[in-house]
Structure 1
Amino acid sequence: MKFVTVFVSIILSLLIIFTPKANAAPEVGLMVGSDSGINVKMNEYKFGVGFDDFSFTLDKTFNFKDHPHFYWGVGGKIADKKNDDIKLGARAVFGAHTKVERFTFFIEAQPTLYLIDDVKVELEAIGGVRYHF
């Protein structure tokens, strides 16, 4: 449980430091796939909490200029496996989204390079919906 407390403190500190000053409304929703849980987006930053392996993700996304429904990004992931193994990974994000009224539907592919214990690359994917406040 010490892992969770330390990690939540680090994530909250990073969000406070790097949160842009623009007044965009947050988007909050659910995601399913490699990480099933809660997904929050504010401006170009995405934060996820997965409940399958209890994981946290933080990504910075960038829209393609000529294709507004597609985006890419970079970020990190930390997961606490059920056998008390902690996994830390750097990842890329490639996704598509569309807005329908106050909802955004999205899908993402996330190649992740895990760096602790066993160095390996895993292709993860999620899909979900977020509500605009």
Structure 2
Amino acid sequence: MFKKVASAAVLLLGSLPFSALGEIGIGFQLGKPDAVSIGVNRWDIGVSVDDVNVSVDRRFTTRELPNLYFGVGGQVSDNGDAPLGVRGKVGLSARAGFAELFGEVVPTVTFGSRGDFELNYGLGFRIWF
């Protein structure tokens, strides 16, 4: 099932015209989990390099504190005991031109026979195109 969802996401992104995607940032995140980090407009996508885990979060900022962001989203993994999760996030981002450095804390609730609450985190870097 995971391969079908991942394939559908890649096909969907690939079928959109480049102008519809807007800004795209690609980088790497160290933490729990280590992941390739992709930003598309106000969406954050993480693809774990350790195991099969994909997360998608919607990012929100405020005018008063533009470097502080909040987010909400979900994750899908190949963990048969807890394959789905709901995530919230809070983080700080510093962007200079095309480069972004970010750090975030991500509370996650997973669902399944061994569902649990986890406190994930990450420190990352993205290049924006």
The TM tier, using the shorter chain, reads 0.7 to 0.9
The one of 34, 37, 47 aligned to 2:35 = 37
1:15 positional shift: 5.4
SS at 2:50's partner residue?
A: coil
Q: Does 1:121 align with 2:117?
A: yes
SS at 1:52's partner residue?
A: coil
Unaligned runs of 5+ in 1: none
Give the equivalent residue in structure 1 for 2:97: 101
Give the equivalent residue in structure 1 for 2:64: 66
Give the equivalent residue in structure 1 for 2:85: 89
CA distance in 2, matches of 1:40, 1:70: 18
1:132 positional shift: 1.1
CA distance in 2, matches of 1:111, 1:41: 19
CA distance in 1, matches of 2:13, 2:60: 17
Q: Which amino acid aligns with 2:113?
A: D
Identity of aligned residues (%): 27
Q: Which amino acid aligns with 1:124?
A: N
Give the equivalent residue in structure 1 for 2:106: 110
Give the equivalent residue in structure 1 for 2:49: 51
Unaligned runs of 5+ in 2: none
CA distance in 2, matches of 1:15, 1:59: 15
Q: Which amino acid aligns with 1:130?
A: R
1:122 positional shift: 0.7
SS at 2:6's partner residue?
A: helix
Give the equivalent residue in structure 2 for 1:130: 126
